[in-house]
Amino acid sequence: MTTTPACRNEQLEAAQADFFERYPEYAKTASLDRLREADHRCLDESHQVYLDYTGGSLYGESQLEEHMMQMRSGVYGNPHSNNPTSTAMTQLLEQSRQYILNYFNASSRDFILVFTPNASGALKLVGESFAFAPGGRLLLTFDNHNSVNGIREFARARGSMVSYAPLKMPSLRLDEERLEELLDEADPAQANLFAFPAQSNVSGVKHPLSLVERARKKGWSVLLDAAAFAPTNRLDLTEVQPDFVAVSFYKMFGYPTGVGALLIRKEALTKLNRPWFAGGTVNFVSVQGQLHILSKGEAAFEDGTLNYLAIPAVEIGLRHLQAIGIEIIGERVRCLTGWMLDELLALRHSNGRAMVRIYGPTTTEARGGTVTLNLYDPNGHLLDYRRIEELAGEKGISLRTGCFCNPGLGEIAEGLTEEDMEAVQQLGADANLMSFLRLMQGRGHKSAGAIRASTGLVSNFEDVWRFVSFIAGFRDQTRLAIGEASFDIDSCRIIRDGS
């Protein structure tokens, strides 16, 4: 039966009243509703529900207008010169650099800031430059993004040992007892690197930032991936002092894309040795002598010509966030995420079986606004998340599905084994996500991917209500089921049909 607009409005109003009663703190974030009306009109005018903030935040009209006004007000050229247009651009770049350091409360006495194309570019700089050597170690966590996982290739090539700290099920939080054992294995006299996300881009788990100091005391340099954390949380680099921090600005405020940053603690510069040089990174180069002398500080890491016209928009974006208040954004995300989790977990088929499996924490304690889930039919069979994304798109709901470049978390969550991974290797050059999914389903596993809904800067209650209503529409649905094995959500175990 089709729901009439009047009935739909009544349902929304009733749900909203219940939400306000359960999350009264939401009222303190009303300024974000005014921001949405003024700066993000296209969302409501086009009836869009945007729930992909972990993929990228949304830019406001005021950011674009201020940046365009800035560009129109002067003449700006390539900064690698001393001519008037180059000097004007250099001044804007250095002003933006200092503003970013101030935003993260990172003193220029203690940190340098390197502009990169994105967070992945920042992470690669650390990987290629860190002093990995035999006797040293690289320690990663199972829920690192692939841009962090890739650092292991540099470590292995130079003879360092690579290990992973596991996660606990079903919370997908770090097994801190095992982590401590792994941290204790380092020889402080060697170059050791511990890399972890401040917030998982899949489970939403916020790992304790106290890990930074704990690891450093045991002889580790620490790389903090703050890409998913910084959009809704305060990162104070006076209170927490990793050696390296990677951030991505479009994830924080949507515009500009193509600019990220690596913040490096000056004491850690001795652990870095760039394996090559490029235009802009050297003070002197000789072809006949085949020698080069790298520039000092951040200049040694900024290859070629920066995205110089976009970088001033980063300062505009940060001022935008500061005017709003990162704590207000975080509080709104907490309230909306809490309600979403409560409602999703309450969904049941007619036979009483749960419809939804949440990957990670089911409360808002020490977690962000990323909610990853899968749907199951009344018999416990997985519903095809790819088709669900298509159906969501038809209703104007932007989600993200797949593995989210985070294979370790998926392997832990789905109980995939080393034997499963060896089976994938047998596929050779034919191995890709689709062949992997087919193989895992054939081996009795339920999924190698999921659905991700993430709230952020200008999310509102109607966004999450429309999403939950959409998910509720799969009650008693069977035609989208895939595979033959069923899944017991309550015990988190796979059950072969007929067993």
Question: For residue 494, is pLDDT > 50?
Answer: no
Tell me the DSSP string of 146-201.
HHHHTHHHHHHHTT-EEEEE-B-TTT--B-HHHHHHHHHT--TTS-EEEEEESB-T
What amino acid positions are annotated as catalytic residues? 405
Cα torsion 263, 269, 274, 279: sign:
positive
**Does residue 188 have a cis bond before it (omega within 30 degrees)?**
no
CA atoms within 13 A on the CB side of 283: 6
In a 3-state reduction of DSSP, which class is residue 495? strand
Helix (H, G, I), strand (E, B) or coil at 318: helix
DSSP for 222-277 reads EEEE-TTTTTTS---TTTS--SEEEEESHHHHS---S-EEEEEEGGGGGGB--S--
- At residue 444 the predicted structure's pLDDT band, cuts being 50, 70 and 90, is low
Q: How far, rounded to the nearest angstrom, does the alpha carbon of residue 467 sit from its chain's CA centroid?
A: 21
pLDDT at 495: 47
Q: What is the pLDDT of residue 458?
A: 97
pLDDT of residue 438: 67
Q: What is the pLDDT of residue 478?
A: 87
Q: Are 468 and 343 in contact (CB under 8 A)?
A: yes
- Amino acid identity, residue 355? M
| Structure tokens, 483 | 């595979």
In sequence order, the β-bridge partners of residue 245 are: 224, 263
Sequence-ordered alpha helix ranges (H) in 416-460: 418-425, 433-442
Of 102-111, 123-132, 463-472, 484-493, which gets the smallest average pLDDT? 484-493
pLDDT in tens, 40-57: 999 999 999 999 999 999
Q: Which residues contact 109 (CB under 8 A, 6 or more apart)?
A: 266
Name the pairing type of β-strands 161-165 and 137-141: parallel
pLDDT-derived band at 351 (thresholds 50, 70, 90) equals very high
- pLDDT of 496 reads 41
Tell me which residue of 141, 251, 149 sits closest to 203, measured CA to CA.
141
Burial, 310: exposed, middle or buried (Cβ in 10 Å; 0-12, 13-18, 19+)? middle
Tokens for 392, please give them.
């969501």
SS3 240: coil
Give the rounded percent of residues in the chain with a pLDDT score beyond 70.
92
For residue 5, give the 3-state DSSP assignment.
helix
SS3 294: strand
As a whole-number percent, the residues of the chain with pLDDT over 90 amount to 77
Q: Closest by alpha carbon to 166, among 196, 124, 133, 131?
A: 196
Q: How many CA atoms lie within 13 A of 260 on its CB side?
A: 24
Alpha-carbon distance 403 to 414, whole Å?
Answer: 12
Please compute the mean of the pLDDT values over residues 136-160 and round it to a whole number. 97
Average pLDDT over residues 146-166: 97
Query: What tokens were used for 291?
Result: 């020698």
Check whether the bond before 134 is cis (ω within 30° of 0): no
DSSP 308: T
Per-residue pLDDT at 449 = 85
User: Minimum mean pLDDT among 82-86, 276-280, 433-437, 479-483: which range?
Assistant: 433-437
Give the per-residue pLDDT at 85.
97
The rounded distance, in Å, linking the Cα atoms of 214 and 26 is: 35
- Mean pLDDT of the region 385-396: 95
Gyration radius (Cα) of the chain, Å: 24
- What secondary structure letter does DSSP report for 427? T
The token pair at 161 is 């040992």
Determine the pLDDT at residue 497: 41
Confidence at residue 410, expressed as pLDDT on a 0 to 100 scale = 84
Residue 77 has pLDDT above 80, yes or no: yes
Structure tokens at 312: 């001033």
Mean pLDDT of the chain: 91
Across the range 89-94, mean pLDDT stands at 96
**Does residue 223 contact residue 193 with C-beta atoms inside 8 Å?**
yes
Which residue bears the tokens 């409005």? 9
Q: Which two tokens stand for residue 220?
A: 């580790």
pLDDT, residue 488, reads 59
Which residue type occupies 344? L
Quick one: pLDDT at residue 326? Answer: 97
Please give the Cα distance from 337 to 399 (Å, whole number). 15
Q: Report d(CA 120, CA 41) in Å as an integer.
A: 31
82-86, 295-299, 467-471: least confident range:
295-299
Residue 187 binned pLDDT confidence (cut-offs 50, 70, 90): very high
Check: CB of residue 374 under 8 Å from CB of residue 474.
Answer: no
Report pLDDT for 443.
Answer: 53
pLDDT confidence bin for 446, thresholds 50/70/90: low
Contacts of 191 (CB under 8 A, 6+ apart): 130, 131, 132, 133, 136, 160, 221, 271
pLDDT tens readout for residues 22-34? 999 999 999 999 9
> What is the pLDDT, as a whole number, of residue 101?
98
What are the tokens at 13?
């109003």
Return d(Cα 362, Cα 56) in angstroms, integer: 23
Report the C-alpha gap between 228 and 55 in whole angstroms.
9
